[in-house]
Amino acid sequence: MKIRNIIAIYSLFIGILMIGMWVMFISTGQVPEMATKPAEIILHLLAEFTTAILLIIGGIGLLKKMKIGYNLNLVALGMLLYTLIVSPGYYLQRGDWVFVGIFALVFIFTMIFLIISFKKEYEIKLDRLSPE
């Protein structure tokens, strides 16, 4: 499998998981900040859903070899990296080490895929021009 496809599938997978996780948390009432800090959590959710949607669109763009796919996916992975640095603090304060570990693991994979994307930029972009 080509590295472009692996990165695309990773982006799609994480984007879908992010949306699924937040939908589950919201629908089961596990977001107490909705009552205590509504403005803060709504803006946080806006950032999370924007990241997830861009990961999905960027992943699709890479899979379909769209011209914008590579750059959009880089932006989305960068946004993901930011949320992976900021969000674990909430779970650290609650002592939820499982979530902290998951964030750390996803952070490592995201860094790896970002580095590969930069190092293989020419190959990923060139692949867009070649028929399969």
Q: Does residue 130 carry a pLDDT above 80?
A: no
Give the residue, 120 or 114, on which the prediction is more confident: 114
* Per-residue confidence (pLDDT) for residue 131, from 0 to 100: 58
Condensed to tens digits (0 to 9), the pLDDT of residues 54-106 reads: 999 999 999 999 989 999 999 999 999 999 999 999 899 999 999 999 999 99
Give the residue, 1 or 74, on which the prediction is more confident: 74
* Per-residue confidence (pLDDT) for residue 100, from 0 to 100: 95
Condensed to tens digits (0 to 9), the pLDDT of residues 3-21 reads: 999 999 999 999 999 999 9
Give per-residue burial for 11-33: e unless 16+ CB within 10 Å, then b. Answer: bbebbeebbeebeeeeeeeebee
The interaxial angle of helices 3-27 and 121-129, nearest 10 deg, is 100
